Amino acid sequence: MSLFLLNILLAIAWAALTGSFQPLDLLFGFLLGYLVLWLGTRMGTPPQYFRKISLVLGLLGVFLLDLLRANIRMAILILSPRMKLRPAVVAVPLVLKSKSAIVLLINLITLTPGTLSLDITTDQSVMFVHTVYLEDPEQFKQQLLTGYEKRLQELFEG
């Protein structure tokens, strides 16, 4: 986290030195700072930061694609004359322990294809997810677990 702040500071420093705070300059400064930090910290123990940045970018990419896909699927469903519905509330066991990871997971589930997170138990061991079309409960659980939960686990508890 402190490396991330340092990286932002380096980006601002770059923009100040070039005297231009255009978004492209800031982005370039960030990339440059990233490179410098990577070179500088290569010698000692490799920090989590560099792996985490790529994890975050990967998660963001997957999420944005999923959001678009969710909406297109929902649009097709809404426009089809005979809506194919097989709704269900499914209990999905939570593997994640960190609270912020759970919050993020629940947000992501609500925003992605056909699913809506309803609640988690007070001991944070099970979450309840509402889905628009349930084919096979086991397969559905597997899908949720392998998709986001694995990535979030790596990101928060790796």
Partner 1 sequence: MLREIVVIVLIFGGAIFMALAGLGMLRMPDLFLRMSSSAKAGTLGAGLILMGAAVHFNDFGIYTRAFAIIVFLLLTAPVAAHMIGRAAHFDGVPLWKGTVQDDLKGHYRASTHALESSTIPENDCPATDEDEIPDNSEFDR
Give the residues lining the site for partner 1 (CB under 8 A).
21-23, 67-68, 70-71, 74-75, 77-79, 83, 85-91, 106-107, 109-112, 114-123, 125-126, 128, 130, 132, 134, 137
Residues in Cβ contact with 148 at an 8 Å cutoff, skipping those fewer than 6 apart: 59, 62, 105, 108, 109, 112
For residue 17, the minimal CB distance to partner 1 (Å) is 18
Nearer Cβ to partner 1 (26/36): 26
With 0-12 / 13-18 / 19 or more C-beta atoms within 10 angstroms meaning exposed / middle / buried, residue 96 is: buried
Nearer Cβ to partner 1 (37/105): 105
Nearer Cβ to partner 1 (46/99): 99
Q: Where are the alpha helices (DSSP H) in the chain?
A: 2-18, 23-41, 49-79, 99-111, 137-144, 150-157
For residue 146, the minimal CB distance to partner 1 (Å) is 20
Nearer Cβ to partner 1 (119/157): 119
Residues in Cβ contact with 52 at an 8 Å cutoff, skipping those fewer than 6 apart: 155, 158
For residue 88, the minimal CB distance to partner 1 (Å) is 4
